[in-house]
């Protein structure tokens, strides 16, 4: 290229999370993974680096072992270099150090067994960079990785500096870093191949330069409209064939990373220390929603000032742990289970570690243009692996089975700072259940694990504003205009489309987290739709407020007594009341008893609705929006309606045929019930879509108290299998 030697590295990252639907694996395989390899087989001069995540490798071995044979052949002839990584695609920086190194080493060993080569490079999940990870990467025996140009810009490097590799270090361990120019990510494969050649010709100035595109393999066939672009363009060769031909024509040498490092051993390569960051889109997604709007305006303002735009940075990956409480819950659960598993010494430890590592898969921990955290089946799979690993650790500690038919168990209570806010939570652990309670947030239950099903029953997602919600109406209008003409294929980062014109009615937001045992004091005119839409008036100062507590542990049971002296706002008056909420869990029983006592300590009468709210995982739901069967008062009344208001009942049974499990709610004092599904509107690679995130069941009573009087009620929540009911 004008007398200079230019090298081009194409590194392709392929991943499906553990727990994704089998049909998704198969669809992406047929649209992206397989045709890409078929194209490479037809392009002997094209060299690439390939990364397949551990969950995808496991799937290939089980479903398409012949695919690995084809990749192995390309590795053998030197056309493909296999890249390692942490086995189950975690965000490496947030893992305990033991898990960092062991996941990488295990995956490198697995890849060596399959492909008969020892990988030297690492794919860094979501290119989420923190400087301290250099040491575990090097300690695991790897030599290089790929990072986005935005991270290098944070160290003062410009676009012209993105066509060589750099070396960084931590505690004396050195790691090679290949920059990925953002412009290449948007050119390939969405623009004509000639556009990429022109970009390289105009950007590369140094001899022996290297240009790197390291990006998702799904964009080569599985992203919207890319399959025809890549492989079937008017009966001619697709984009990949045309691009490879142009590289050869312009004497651009396609090389693998290790091949290039071997050739450039005598080149001067500068050292660099990079700030914590990721790719530019990720840093924008990680910002709080109220800040991301201003960030977007700043980005637009600087679009015509690229020399300054490189200094604009958003948040970084760990911000998701503060943006979404549900992410924090998963992360802290993972840390808790990791600590338990690494204390194991028995034969189950290796199997438990594998389940733990599957539960560290990054996809369910965050949300950007892909559904991630909003995909309930991915959250459920993550909890499933973590709970399964925890069961194995508990079985070693207690020497007991956690099968439903085994009747000897244990009960443990710990007061610990589970979520890292310097305030204790209360964790109850038995053979059949975990119950995690937050005194500082209303004495609520925020995790309820049913161990026989390896299911967090409270795996829900709160409805909250997202920055893209404001674009929903505009995008719908834009789609209509686009139908008039044929638009070019867009990158997934540019593509938004509404799948349902009625989605706007689901843009409702909660002002509290959708956990359980939430105490409500409501006006008598409150109706189902008010609670469903989070448009009700809370009369007390109990919601989201701190409760005092006492813990009582006996041989066969544990009780937590939450207390709060609060006030009600009634007709302009402030009435003091005392709420006592007692929670009892018995050893070996999959049930929770909830007892309330409310005392009027004021000088005025009041009448209102008092209720307690339960929010259940959508995984319990069979048909997308409701339980298979809902029984009232035994079998006297049945319903399969999606929502309902039901007065004066003593028992409620929610039957999940999907899991063959029943949740019963029983009381002596007749209760009223509101029940309804909770939906969110989120963005995915396919556009805007509705997702079921919780099923809410609110038990409530009309409560009237004169000064000095008190009221009480008791609820029992019990889990059982349908065949036993």
The side-by-side arrangement of strands in the sheet containing 433-438 is 411-416, 425-430, 433-438, 444-450, 455-456
Judge whether residue 4 has pLDDT over 60: no
DSSP state of 354: H
pLDDT mean across residues, the chain: 91
Judge whether residue 482 has pLDDT over 70: no
pLDDT more than 90, % of the chain:
79
Region 96-105: mean pLDDT is: 96
Judge whether residue 494 has pLDDT over 80: no
Region 597-617: mean pLDDT is: 97
SS3 assignment, position 178: strand
Judge whether residue 585 has pLDDT over 70: yes
pLDDT band (50, 70, 90) for residue 480: very low
The verdict on whether 425 is a catalytic residue reads no
Q: Which of 109, 139, 192, 216 is catalytic?
A: 216
- Helix/strand/coil (H, E, C) string of 495-548? CCCECCCCHHHHCCCCCCCCCECEEEEECCCCCHHHHHCCCCCCCECCCCCCCE
pLDDT given for residue 309 in this prediction: 86
124's CB contacts (< 8 A; 6+ apart) are: 85, 92, 133, 145, 146, 147
Judge whether residue 407 has pLDDT over 60: no
Polymer length of the chain: 725
pLDDT band (50, 70, 90) for residue 502: confident
pLDDT (tens digit per residue) in 135-178:
999 999 999 999 999 999 999 999 999 999 999 999 999 999 99
pLDDT given for residue 9 in this prediction: 97
Q: What is the pTM of this model?
A: 0.94
pLDDT given for residue 481 in this prediction: 42
Region 307-330: mean pLDDT is: 93
| Measured distance CA(387)–CA(383) in Å, rounded | 6
Judge whether residue 640 has pLDDT over 80: no
| Measured distance CA(279)–CA(126) in Å, rounded | 8
Q: Which of 81, 99, 102, 126 is catalytic?
A: 126
SS3 assignment, position 153: helix
End-to-end CA distance of the chain, in Å?
76
Judge whether residue 479 has pLDDT over 50: no
Judge whether residue 125 has pLDDT over 70: yes
pLDDT given for residue 630 in this prediction: 85
pLDDT given for residue 534 in this prediction: 96
pLDDT band (50, 70, 90) for residue 477: very low
Judge whether residue 538 has pLDDT over 50: yes
121-137 b/e with 16+ CB inside 10 Å = b? bbbbbbbbbbeebbbbb
| Measured distance CA(47)–CA(52) in Å, rounded | 16
| Measured distance CA(627)–CA(616) in Å, rounded | 11
What tokens does 315 get? 């948040």
Judge whether residue 487 has pLDDT over 80: no
**Parallel, antiparallel, or unpaired for β 710-721 and 591-600?**
antiparallel
pLDDT band (50, 70, 90) for residue 472: confident
The verdict on whether 126 is a catalytic residue reads yes
CA-closest candidate to residue 562, choices 570, 553, 551: 551
User: Do 678 and 534 meet the contact criterion of CB atoms below 8 Å apart?
Assistant: no
């Amino acid at each position: 290229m004008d007398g200079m030697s230019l090298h081009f590295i194409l590194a392709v990252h392929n991943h499906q999370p553990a727990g994704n639907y089998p049909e998704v694996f198969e669809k992406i395989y047929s649209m992206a993974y397989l045709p890409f390899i078929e194209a490479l087989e037809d392009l002997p001069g094209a060299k690439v680096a390939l990364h397949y995540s551990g969950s995808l490798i496991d799937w290939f071995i089980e479903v398409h072992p012949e695919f690995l044979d084809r990749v192995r052949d390309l590795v053998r002839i030197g056309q493909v270099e296999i890249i390692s990584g942490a086995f189950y695609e975690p965000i490496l920086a947030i893992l305990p150090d033991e898990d960092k190194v062991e996941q990488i080493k295990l995956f490198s060993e697995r890849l060596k067994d399959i492909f008969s080569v020892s990988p030297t490079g690492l794919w860094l999940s979501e290119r989420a960079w923190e400087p301290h990870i250099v040491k575990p990467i090097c300690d695991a025996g790897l030599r290089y990785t790929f990072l986005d140009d935005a991270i290098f810009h944070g160290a003062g490097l410009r676009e012209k500096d993105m066509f060589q590799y750099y070396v960084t270090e931590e505690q004396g361990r050195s790691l090679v870093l290949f920059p990925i120019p953002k412009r290449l990510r948007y050119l390939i494969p969405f623009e004509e191949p000639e556009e990429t050649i022109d970009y390289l010709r105009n950007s590369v100035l140094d001899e022996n330069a290297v240009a790197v595109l390291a990006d998702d393999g799904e964009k080569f066939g599985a992203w919207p409209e890319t399959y025809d672009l890549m492989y079937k363009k008017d009966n001619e060769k697709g984009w990949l064939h045309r691009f490879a031909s142009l590289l050869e024509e312009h004497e651009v040498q396609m090389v693998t990373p290790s091949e290039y490092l071997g050739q450039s051993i005598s080149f001067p390569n500068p050292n660099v220390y990079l700030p914590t960051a990721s790719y530019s889109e990720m840093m924008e997604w990680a910002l709080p929603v109220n800040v991301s709007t201003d960030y977007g305006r700043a980005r637009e303002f600087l679009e015509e000032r690229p020399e300054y735009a490189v200094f604009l940075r958003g948040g970084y990956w760990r911000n998701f742990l503060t943006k979404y409480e549900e992410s924090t819950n998963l992360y802290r659960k993972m840390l808790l289970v990791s600590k338990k598993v690494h204390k194991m010494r028995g034969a189950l430890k290796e199997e438990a570690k594998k389940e733990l590592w599957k539960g560290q898969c990054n996809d369910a921990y965050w949300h950007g243009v892909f559904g991630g955290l909003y995909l309930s089946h991915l959250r459920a799979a993550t909890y499933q692996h973590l709970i399964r690993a925890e069961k194995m650790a508990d079985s070693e500690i207690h020497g007991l089975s956690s099968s439903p038919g085994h009747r000897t168990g244990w009960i443990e209570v710990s007061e610990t700072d589970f979520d890292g806010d310097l305030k204790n939570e209360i964790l109850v652990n038995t053979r059949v259940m975990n119950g995690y309670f937050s005194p500082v947030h209303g004495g609520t239950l925020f995790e309820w694990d049913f161990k026989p099903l390896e299911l967090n029953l409270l795996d829900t997602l709160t409805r909250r504003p997202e920055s893209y919600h404001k674009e929903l109406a505009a995008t719908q209008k834009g789609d209509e205009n686009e139908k008039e003409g044929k638009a070019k294929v867009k990158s997934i980062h540019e593509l938004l489309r509404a799948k349902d014109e009625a989605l706007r009615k689901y843009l409702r937001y909660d002002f509290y987290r959708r956990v359980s045992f939430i105490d409500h004091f409501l006006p008598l005119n409150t109706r189902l739709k008010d609670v469903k839409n989070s448009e009700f008036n809370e009369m007390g100062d109990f919601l989201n407020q701190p409760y005092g507590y006492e813990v009582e542990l006996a041989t066969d049971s544990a009780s937590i007594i939450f207390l709060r002296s609060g006030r009600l706002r009634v007709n302009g008056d402030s009435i003091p009341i005392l709420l006592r909420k007692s929670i009892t869990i018995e050893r070996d029983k999959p049930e929770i008893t909830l007892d309330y006592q409310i005392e009027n300590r004021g000088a005025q009468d009041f009448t209102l609705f008092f209720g307690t709210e339960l929010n259940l995982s959508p995984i319990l739901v069979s048909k997308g929006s409701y339980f298979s069967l809902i029984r009232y008062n035994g079998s006297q009344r049945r319903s399969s309606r999606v929502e309902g208001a039901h007065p004066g009942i003593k028992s409620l049974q929610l039957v999940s045929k999907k899991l063959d499990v029943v949740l019963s709610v029983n009381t002596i004092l007749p209760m009223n019930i509101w029940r309804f599904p909770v939906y969110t509107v989120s963005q995915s690679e396919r556009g805007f879509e509705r997702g079921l995130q919780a099923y809410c069941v609110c038990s409530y009573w009309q409560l009237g108290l004169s000064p000095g009087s008190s009221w009480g009620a008791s609820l029992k929540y019990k889990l059982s299998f349908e065949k036993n009911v």
